[in-house]
Amino acid sequence: MTAIRRTKIVATLGPATQRPETLDAMFEAGMNVVRLNFSHGDPADHIQLAERVRERARICHKPVGILADLQGPKIRIARFKDGPIVLKDGSSFVLDADLGSQDGDDYQVGIDYKALPDDVSDGDILLLDDGRIVLRVEGVNDRRIMTRVITGGPLSNNKGINRQGGGLSAAALTGKDCQDIVTAARMEADYLAVSFPRSAEDIHEARRLLHEAGGHAAIVAKIERAEALDAIEEIIEAADAIMVARGDLGVEMGDAALPPIQKRIISLARRMNRVTITATQMMESMILNPIPTRAEVFDVANAVLDGTDAVMLSGETAVGKNPIKTIAAMHRICLQAEQEREIRVSRHRIDSSFEQMDEAIAMGAMYLANHLNVKTIAALTESGSTVLWMSRISSGIPIFALTPHEKTARRVTLYRGVYPIKFAREHNDHATLNREVITELERRGVVVEGDIVIITKGDLEVQGSTNALKLVRVGDMVEPRVNGQSCE
């Protein structure tokens, strides 16, 4: 069997990637999860695109997850009446919450976030356009923020505003986000990403609103604010997945601080049995160019070595000229990085005790797999919990999630090293079930005669509880029996 990429690829859809034939090519190139960016488009567009994605996925026989990404609070300047301006170092510039949204000029501009004058004080550093423009606050006069330009340059409409070190009070969930959560529930999104959370309460609120709307997506907390780092363990505990969103976070914390922050978040999330996504500018140059820079190759590879479950593409596939080549390049980089031995071994929870039987089975399976010449693991699962726990263990061994549930199959598309297989289980005879599992793996070319396979499963009568582990050698499926019953 050829090597299977373990790290998953999330690709953002946009004008460049909405046609059916393009989606088919993206699946073939290696896309596992599509991201729908709710900062653009309307609800009807998103629902229609989600339906198209799932239709093409069925036709291509490629399981795919859908991640709905909420816009979050818009902390941006407004617009300039005569087009872009150029700020000069040392000049004064005003951010005016009461200025008209189209009335900016060389000396002042309006702001979308009207509470900004209440959030800043003398000496604060404001960063515009991803930190390209640096302003120092010199005073607040009613609704006008008086600043001095520290680093100038061109400035155009609707650029983002960050406060160095974080601390802006904007709520994570806006009115638009609340409406978009209903849209995510209607499209049956598999993941819902919450932008700019400050605390675990933001995640709990998003989950409550989603459930009220009838949705059951897993919640992704996007770590974008400096203050989120102060509550990182609580946020990870509240969420199902974590996205290291390096754009705004890098602006607030400083670029040099990002690498250790990324490593810490990924390591912590894996220890807490949460999924991780690494995002922002991973293959940025490929928006225009057909090959990545060497720095981008190293960036993607390092995220893989850090243990991320997934790497994400944004503008590269949403508006880029080379979406298919970008996915293919990311696939090759991930596959190569995964050959390093250091990410195939793990001491994850090696000294821990387990409170749940199914978690103990999952950890036992991975210990066996890493200490025996096992070819693959086949986990019969209802919810996907067992394979999530398994995927927290570093290993080069593929884990196949055999499930009858479409929602479970789509959710596990984001788990590192886990591959979904639709599998209908209709009886509870373990010997027959083992043979059916092996037959399915043989049919897919995953195993051949002589390979050792670990099978985990539970009793059919007790759904959601994995309580059995079986070591099987392909071709040797004669089950020893005691009093007419197969031994497990």
Tallying the residues shown for the chain, one arrives at: 488
Structure tokens of 60? 């291509």
Contact assessment for residue 129 and residue 158, using Cβ atoms and an 8 Å cutoff:
no
Structure tokens of 122? 């003398």
Sign of CA dihedral 174, 176, 177, 178: positive
Q: Of these residues, 35, 56, 274, 416, which one is catalytic?
A: 35
Burial of residue 257 (number of CB atoms within 10 Å: 0-12, 13-18, 19+): middle
Contact assessment for residue 133 and residue 153, using Cβ atoms and an 8 Å cutoff:
yes
If we measure between CA atoms, which residue out of 186, 177, 175 comes closest to residue 45?
A: 186
Is 76 among the residues known to form the active site?
Answer: yes
Is 276 among the residues known to form the active site?
Answer: no
Contact assessment for residue 72 and residue 208, using Cβ atoms and an 8 Å cutoff:
no
User: Which residues fall within 8 angstroms of residue 21, CB to CB, at 6 or more apart?
Assistant: none
Q: What is the DSSP string of 51-89?
A: HHHHHHHHHHT---EEEEE------BB--BTTS-EEEPT
Geometric angle at alpha carbon 242, from 256 and 337, rounded to 5°: 65
Separation between Cα atoms, residue 403 and residue 414, nearest integer Å: 15
Is 470 among the residues known to form the active site?
Answer: no
Geometric angle at alpha carbon 248, from 244 and 250, rounded to 5°: 75
If we measure between CA atoms, which residue out of 206, 111, 233 comes closest to residue 168?
A: 111
Q: Of these residues, 54, 76, 79, 332, which one is catalytic?
A: 76
Q: Of these residues, 163, 222, 375, 416, which one is catalytic?
A: 222
Determine the straight-line distance between the first and last CA of the chain, rounded to whole angstroms. Answer: 28
Is 347 among the residues known to form the active site?
Answer: no
Separation between Cα atoms, residue 86 and residue 63, nearest integer Å: 48
* CB < 8 Å & 24+ apart, contacts of 343-348: 343/304, 343/305, 343/307, 343/394, 344/394, 344/395, 344/396, 345/370, 345/394, 345/395, 346/370, 346/393, 346/394, 346/395, 348/270, 348/271, 348/392, 348/393, 348/394
Q: Give Cα 179 distance to the centre of its chain.
A: 22
Cα diameter, the chain: 90
Q: Of these residues, 17, 147, 276, 280, which one is catalytic?
A: 280
Listed in sequence order, the DSSP H helices in 377-458 are 385-391, 406-411, 430-443
Q: Give Cα 476 distance to the centre of its chain.
A: 40
Give the residue numbers marked as catalytic: 35, 76, 222, 280
